[in-house]
Amino acid sequence: MIVADIEATGLDPRKHSILSIGAVEFEHPENQFYGECRMWDGASIMSDAIKVNGFTEEECSDPKKQSLKELMDKFLLWVDACEDKTLAGKNPSFDRDFLNDSFARSHIGWHFAYRTLDLTSMVYMDMVKRGISVPTKNNRAEISLGSLLIYLGLPEEPKPHNALNGALYEAEAFSRILYSKNLLPEFAKFPIIHI
């Protein structure tokens, strides 16, 4: 599977643009991808979104950065070399929708499948199986990336968010929840808990 994370100028792929993509091929975790681009012409910027990912408005539109199409072409080349193209992540529907919109916007006739592997759902099921109370807010499960990582014995992701860091942390979390083992050497010093 491909564990991917994107950073964008907002929450709606029709109005906002990808700024960076990070990805890890789960079966071959040494195979990683990271790329940044400028936002597409006319894309909107949500100030809260760029506060999270640390990009400035100037960086979002920097003409020296590659275009969205150039980034998507490079990402597709990387994806094509992966064995299993199932998309996975903390919020893979968000990432999938942005990636698919960006492929279409770049006139690239490829897209990720509708079905994805959702890390939050897997942690939710693990908590229920173990009799651990699932945190809720407004009568819904509230499992943030930070709480999910702590549940699996990992530190919180550094801030501001970086797409490759997100993909690495999520790939490690998938390994711990699926196989009860460490995947990436940078996380080996953190003991596996709740498994």
Is 138's pLDDT higher than 80? yes
Q: How many residues does the chain have?
A: 195
pLDDT at site 106: 97
Sequence spans of domains, the chain:
2-105, 119-187
pLDDT at site 159: 92
Average pLDDT over residues 69-88: 97
Average pLDDT over residues 141-151: 93
Is 166's pLDDT higher than 70? yes
Residues 6 or more apart in contact with residue 23 via CB below 8 angstroms: 2, 3, 4, 5, 32, 33, 34, 75, 78, 79, 164, 167
Is 194's pLDDT higher than 90? no
Q: What residue has token string 């953190």? A: 190
pLDDT at site 195: 58
Q: What does the alpha-carbon distance between residue 4 and residue 27 come to, in Å, rounded to a whole number?
A: 13
Mean pLDDT lowest among 2-11, 62-71, 186-195: 186-195
Average pLDDT over residues 169-181: 97
Specify the 3-state DSSP secondary structure of 28.
coil
Burial class of residue 32, CB neighbours in 10 A (0-12, 13-18, 19+): middle
Burial class of residue 97, CB neighbours in 10 A (0-12, 13-18, 19+): middle
Name the pLDDT band for 193 (thresholds 50, 70, 90).
confident
Q: Using N-to-C axis directions, what is the helix angle for 68-80 and 92-105, rounded to 10°? A: 110
Average pLDDT over residues 113-128: 95
Specify the CATH number of the domain 2-105: 3.30.420.10
Q: Nearest-CA neighbor of 44 among 30, 65, 61, 27?
A: 61
pLDDT at site 87: 98
> Which residue type sits at 68?
L
Average pLDDT over residues 7-35: 98
Burial class of residue 45, CB neighbours in 10 A (0-12, 13-18, 19+): buried
CB contact at 8 A, 174 and 87: no
Burial class of residue 178, CB neighbours in 10 A (0-12, 13-18, 19+): middle
Preceding omega of 160 cis (within 30 degrees of 0)? yes
Share of the chain above pLDDT 90, in %: 98
